[in-house]
Amino acid sequence: MARANDWASKVMALVNGGNAPAAIAQIKVAPSVKDLKALQTIMTLSKMKGRYPNVDAAISDNLDLLAAPRLHRSP
């Protein structure tokens, strides 16, 4: 049975702790588009969107990069 991936909650803990550079580093090596969208949703629901503009930019940039059909990361 597959285990639940809680990557987004771990990155959100970095953001809540004020460690935005570490969160951006984790966002750059995000496992999938699904995980990035989950993080984006969590940031919106917790009203953290806009508080850290560099984190918001990293999420949107990496969503664009991972969504491109010719680019993907191997597991």
In this predicted structure, what is the pLDDT of residue 4? 52
Query: What residues make up the domain containing 22?
Result: 16-64
Query: For position 61, what pLDDT does the model report?
Result: 92
Angle of the 7-16 helix axis to the 33-45 helix axis, nearest 10: 40
Is 20 a member of any domain? Answer: yes
Domain count, the chain: 1
Structure tokens at 68: 């491109």
CA 66 – CA 71 distance, rounded (Å): 6
Taking Cα atoms as reference points, which of 33, 41, 39 lies closest to residue 66?
A: 33
**What's the predicted TM-score (pTM) here?**
0.79
The confidence score (pLDDT) of residue 73 equals 62
Q: Is residue 48 part of a domain?
A: yes
> What is residue 65's predicted lDDT score, i.e. its pLDDT?
85
Using CA atoms of 53, 56, 58, 61 in order, give the dihedral in degrees to the nearest 10: -120
10-32 pLDDT, tens digit each: 999 999 998 999 999 999 998 88
